[in-house]
Each structure stands twice: as structure tokens, then as C-alpha cells.
């Protein structure tokens, strides 16, 4: 990959440069010390990935991400030492289309970024995600089960999948859900596990109903939002409880919308409304089609209101979405169905 670095600290840029070049498979496309320079550089040379700092003098990483995604869209990974203290800014930048966020790794001394560095693992994952075509992995679920009996139309559940641009889209939906909403909502958002708690807390400040991390053994409860909170996949078991599993291991999406929705198809006995929001890649498209064929109501976010029109587009191309709606209209549809 050709990777650009945006950071106002020369030592950070040099450390990130070495980490990238030492892999032998990636190269530095260009570097920028501020947001304005990054925007100009991106206009002239769009890299495969940008490592973007959040806190910079002048134009911060949020505004820089917004302008790059507007003028010269490309994959952006937020890399900053201040993620935990600036979670609102991180999720705002992700709302404009940043793919994910990670803490700046150790760049000097014995703990300097090596081959097992979380940053390099994240870059490798994003390299797979940004390739064209569907992910090359096989589901561990038995595909024959998808041809079972239609879903029973009671006890409705709302399942939402989202990725890049997702936090802001989720905030828009949860701000409009009334406090007496009578269905559980389960969200699978592509976000590093270390930021899942921060995302749940941020969404809680905006939502009219409680938002919490789904834990092993929990059950979907009406009027509560559950957020996948692990780099492992969230599942619904035969007993109707949540469980995390590392399997399948060969999917680039962690947690995966497809994996969770396939478990819903097998184990949720009530009605399902599945919503696929903004995001890069194709996660959720195939399982949405399978859910629709089983009687679920399926919604894809429209292109105009998506920060990244990847996942909903993939679902629409498969004819998996029964409705294609702007983000502001999705809530009205949920209220009618649930």
C-alpha cells in the first residue's frame, strides 16, 4: 500500500515512516504536518491509506477528514495518542468517513513498532477491506440452514450494521428513537474493540433509550440498544443469548455484520428488521438477502446520505433491500414496523 502520514509532530511522522517502510510491503506516499497541506497533497496524489492525527494546530483531524472525503475520498485511519480523551472527535471523524481509529504505537526504544504492532495489523486488515469485490472468506454456518422455515412474525428485533461513517448515522437514528420504543436494537459497527466502550458512552449521551455493550450471556431486551464490543464476532446462540466467537477467523470484518445476522437467521424466533448503513466493503449484503428471503424487513441507507456508499450499495445490487431510504427516513420506517 501507498500510505500517507498526517501529523504535526516530526518525531511521530518519522516513527510512522520507519514502521511502514520496515514492513517491506508498504511505502510512504507523502507526509503532511497540518490539515491544509494534507488536503492539497491528497488532491494531487490520492494514497491507498492515510494515517491521520486528530489533534493538530489549525485544522484538526476531524475537519481534515471531512474535506478529504468531500474532495478526494480515500481510506483514512485515525492514529493518535489522544483517542481515549477525545472520543467525541474520533467518532465525529468516523462520521465523515474515517474507517477506524487506533492509539499511536510505541515508535522508539525496545517497544518500537514491530511486525506484530497493532497498527500494522490494522493496516493489513484495511488493505483487505479496501480491495474490490467480496471478502474471500467462507462462513462457518451451514448454508443449508438458510433455506429453513420463514421467520415467526412476533417479538420484533432491529439489527443494524454500519462501518465508515457509521457513528454519525447511528447518532442520527438513536436521537429520533422515542423513549418508549418496544424492540431491542443490536448494532454491529466496525470499530476497534478498545474504542467500543467510548462509542457506547457517546451514543448514550444522544440516545433516548439506554445504550450498552453486549456481553456474553446477555439477552436482547426491549427498549435497549446493544453494541458489539469485541474484535471477535457477536453471535446470538440457540438459547437466545449473546456470545462472542473468534470464528470465522478469515473475515476481514471484525466484528462482522454477516456473522451476526446469520446467527439471527438461525436462532431469533421473532420478526427482524435489518438496516445496513454507510460503510466500506460488502459486509452484511449476503446475510441481508438471506434474511429478506426468510421474511425479514430490510432497509439500506441511500447513496446521498452515506459517507461511504459501499455496504448499502452491495446489498442493493443483490436486491437484498426492500427499502432504500435517506438516514432521516429510516427511523420513521422502524417505528412503523416495530
Retrieve residue 292's grid coordinates.
Answer: 429478506
Catalytic site residue from 53, 146, 190, 233: 190
Radius of gyration of the chain (CA): 20
Cα angle at 192 between 3 and 316, to 5 degrees? Answer: 80
User: DSSP E strands: which ranges in 91-148?
Assistant: 100-103
179 catalytic per annotation: no
Catalytic site residue from 87, 146, 162, 163: 163
Retrieve residue 9's grid coordinates.
Answer: 509532530
Cell 420463514 -> residue: 150
329 catalytic per annotation: no
Instruction: Give the C-alpha separation, 99 to 307, whole Å.
Output: 11
Dmax over Cα atoms in the chain, in whole Å? 60
Residue 3 sits at φ, ψ, to 5 deg, of -115, 130
Which strands make up the sheet holding 27-32, listed edge to edge? 27-32, 2-6, 49-52, 76-80, 100-103
Catalytic site residue from 283, 287, 290, 302: 283
81 catalytic per annotation: no
Catalytically annotated residues: 163, 190, 283
Amino acid at each position: 500500500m501507498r500510505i500517507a502520514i498526517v501529523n504535526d509532530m516530526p518525531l511521530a511522522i518519522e516513527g510512522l515512516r520507519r514502521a511502514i517502510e520496515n514492513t517491506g510491503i508498504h511505502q510512504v506516499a507523502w507526509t503532511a504536518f497540518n490539515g491544509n497541506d494534507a488536503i492539497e497533497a491528497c488532491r494531487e496524489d490520492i494514497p491507498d491509506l492515510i494515517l491521520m492525527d486528530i489533534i493538530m494546530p489549525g485544522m484538526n483531524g476531524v475537519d481534515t477528514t471531512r474535506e478529504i472525503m468531500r474532495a478526494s475520498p480515500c481510506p483514512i485511519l485515525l492514529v493518535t495518542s489522544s483517542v481515549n480523551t477525545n472520543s467525541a472527535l474520533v467518532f465525529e471523524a468516523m462520521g465523515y468517513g474515517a474507517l477506524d481509529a487506533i492509539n499511536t504505537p510505541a515508535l522508539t526504544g525496545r517497544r518500537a513498532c514491530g511486525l506484530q504492532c497493532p497498527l500494522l495489523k490494522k493496516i493489513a486488515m484495511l488493505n483487505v477491506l479496501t480491495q474490490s469485490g467480496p471478502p474471500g472468506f467462507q462462513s462457518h454456518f451451514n448454508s443449508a440452514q438458510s433455506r429453513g422455515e420463514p421467520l415467526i412474525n412476533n417479538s420484533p428485533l432491529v439489527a443494524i450494521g454500519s462501518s465508515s461513517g457509521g457513528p454519525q448515522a447511528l447518532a442520527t437514528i438513536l436521537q429520533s428513537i422515542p423513549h418508549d420504543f418496544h424492540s431491542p436494537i443490536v448494532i454491529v459497527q466496525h470499530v476497534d474493540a478498545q474504542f467500543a466502550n467510548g462509542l457506547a458512552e457517546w451514543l448514550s449521551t444522544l440516545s433516548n433509550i439506554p445504550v450498552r455493550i453486549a456481553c456474553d450471556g446477555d439477552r436482547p431486551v426491549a427498549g435497549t440498544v446493544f453494541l458489539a464490543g469485541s474484535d471477535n464476532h457477536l453471535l446470538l446462540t440457540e438459547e437466545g443469548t449473546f456470545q462472542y466467537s473468534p470464528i470465522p477467523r478469515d473475515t476481514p470484518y471484525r466484528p462482522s455484520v454477516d456473522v451476526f445476522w446469520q446467527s439471527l437467521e438461525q436462532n431469533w424466533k421473532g420478526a427482524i428488521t435489518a438496516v445496513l448503513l454507510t460503510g466500506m466493503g460488502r459486509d452484511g449484503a449476503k446475510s441481508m438477502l438471506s434474511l429478506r428471503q426468510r421474511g425479514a424487513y430490510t432497509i439500506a441507507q441511500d447513496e446521498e446520505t452515506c459517507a461511504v456508499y459501499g455496504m448499502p450499495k452491495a446489498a442493493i445490487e443483490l436486491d437484498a433491500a426492500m427499502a432504500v431510504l435517506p438516514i432521516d427516513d429510516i427511523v420513521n420506517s422502524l417505528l412503523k414496523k416495530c
